[in-house]
Structure 1
Amino acid sequence: MNVLLQRIFAKLVRTGNLTVTGPDGVPHRFGDGSGEPVHMLIRTRRAERAITFDPTLAVPEAYMDGEMDIVEGNIFGFMRIAFQNLGNGTVDAAWSRAIEGLRVALRRFQQVNTAARAKRNVERHYDLSGDLYRLFLDSDMQYSCAYFANPEMTLEEAQTAKKAHIAAKMRLKPGQSVLDIGSGWGGLGLYLARSFEAQVLGVTLSSEQHAVATERAHQEGLDSHVHFEIRDYRDLVERFDRIVSVGMFEHVGVNHYRTFFDTVAKRLKPDGVMVLHSIGRFGPPTATSAFIRKYIFPGGYIPALSEVLPAIEKAGLMVADVEVLRLHYAETLKHWSKRFAANRDKAKAIYDERFCRMWEFYLAASEAAFRWQDLMVFQIQITHRNDTLPLTRDYIGKCEKALAMHEMAHRTAEPTTKAGRKRTVGDKE
């Protein structure tokens, strides 16, 4: 292993138990020996040089290409050591700082998400085979942070709790109109229609997700309540009682925050409520990970709250409530990683070995970032007026309990006709 890379590892890894073997076959040990051992094998000189000068991109690329492997432990263990040691002030390589500074400076150019470009970006990730996502998501195909109201929840239970938590914050009433921006595979829209008989319009830019969501609505007999369209949020002209967006704001781009919230202000009725659920960061604004931007979410960006709140204010909207979900996404990703590993051969049959290695790195690095870096999830409740919602948050817990009972009844009861519909949440006794 070259001397420069040895120095970088020696400065970075002060805690943990990391062994790195370079192309010369000589192992080097770093850290204080604590924790589970991880052994990283760099197979080629090319990978060694790339990792030396741009590790944030070169490490995942070398792993994807088989030029780097973890021969003891796993990628998650390696990311744990890396992230737990980052920020300790020991790494001061000028070129590393320069590369990261350039990425921050260029982030606005990388996030010019026009309608056409936004659709291409979505197709790169969300139009992958639905069969792939079925291998690791819950049965409702929720591809966003779950809500672990208690740590013993299954993934399915936590995703249902997430939908209930969001619905409760929306203060939704039976029959109201709902806009779901970034409706995914339709699970949230169907849940709101089922629980409240809401009139839901879900918009997405993914053809794959649109097809699945539309078929699900038909199978559940909810066609008259839920409609999904391939449509950019900027093209909407209708007004709605409620607006919700889950896991879509990360794809808007910092250049378009004002447009996004101006659109919300126009589309939300005067007494309406919006709930925005998005990945965010505790720290100040920065750049998207080079690996994530290149291979996973092109055009994506994780905002700091300091970037989001001013755009809401300038749109003339009010922030009624902000909740930060800290480790919920780490737990979600832990479940996804286990399910993906259990179905890895099926994923390889759909794509190939390189794709599987890329996906493994993506899931492991994401979980590690939520556990040991500055990532979190925020939910912002937005209104036009300060008297739209009750004075205290007690109504949220009450609604969640009612929704849990309703969901249990839905799972056990026989289907009913429209004439004999079951009571929806929010109906008066």
Structure 2
Amino acid sequence: MRYISLTPEERKQMLDVLGLGSADELFRSIPAAVRLTRPLDVPSAMSETEVVNYFETLARENTSAQSNACFLGAGAYNHFVPTVIDSIISRSEFYTAYTPYQPEISQGTLQSIFEYQTMISQLTGLDVANASLYDGSSATAEAALMAARVTGRKCILVSPSLHPEYRRVLETYVRNLNFQLEELRQAPDGRIDRDSLEAQIGENCGSVIIQSPNFFGVVEDIAALAQVVKAAGGVLVVAVTEALSLGLLQPPGDLGADIVAGEGQSFGIPLGFGGPYLGLFACRDQYKRQMPGRVVGETVDSQGRRGFVLTLSTREQHIRREKATSNICTNQGLCALMCAVFLATLGRKGLRELAEQNLRKAHYLRSLLADHLVFSGPFFNEFTVRCPESPERINERLAEQGIIGGLPLGRYYAERADQMVVCVTEQVSRTQMDEFARIFKG
């Protein structure tokens, strides 16, 4: 609704009620010496058309993934967002809804979350998914805490190729909980080596956290690692930052993962400025009562009609401090809805086709940069290259041609200051990939 100002008559009526002759008398308690008696030194008012044009002009000065070819990934991916998503989430009953504690008036919201949970369970190959967490990093940290509750062990083996920012969040979560974090060893092909894991894991290890595809783009051998973890009585947590990979790769749950945590931004959520995003979380049925967050379940009412309610935990669960399963007491409901609409719009075949586009395009660019590859392991839509000059300088030259380059690894790994992670999505064309390779090679 547009703002409608008061009429002179309405202002006079208000002043009459107050017994005042003018609005200036409202400020008579302020000394005259400090009052401003001249007009403010600001530009004159603009019309609505002028304001819109002004801000559009400012926006054109920004560099964005929409106006430039983007080869930057590493946890935030430039995928196409169908317009139907905005149409649905703009409905007031969705975008103003909060926690659906009252099922009798929240069936629409509850059903949308239930459908979201169902699709995440199918994609991850696990029995139960929750209603979402804040983002991929907090979901991964919550998975570590959950694994400790399941096993009673506080030693966590963490992959060095887990997203560095996820590792920092994990470290923050466990800093004062007497957890022991140990780093796994990485093989030359970019994967976690099974033999080194077998030698490193011990009876005190509660969980192993890996990422697949990992931060360098390499797809881990989840099945082989799961065998080692299970033999030691631990819990395998698989973090997924590029959720689109689930549309093509075998589900982590089918390969032996016990918990899958990750980032759902690829499923219909714009890049924004790094958020808000969507924390994915799913686990095996036997662990569901240790799962953080909330879960929507299907039931029937007193008349036998299908309905949906929050289940498995009470509202009071979230205020039990250190005794609570989790102190995350809300979920990214609107982002989860965006994810559900995205997945329902594409369907199983559409999601696979989109994932295959990413795979094929990434393989094409990788073939152009074959002499600069760092790892030989399999990959999805990201890979790591060794740069012929400073990665920052290469990105500067790319930017001059309207291309957003890859992520320089020196900011996270000092020993990899000459390397860059390159991401290829369906949004870039063959011509743009050719241009990227030409500039990269100098």
TM-score by length of 2: 0.29
Q: Which structure's CA Rg is the greater one? A: 2
RCO comparison, higher one (Cα < 8 Å, 6+): 2
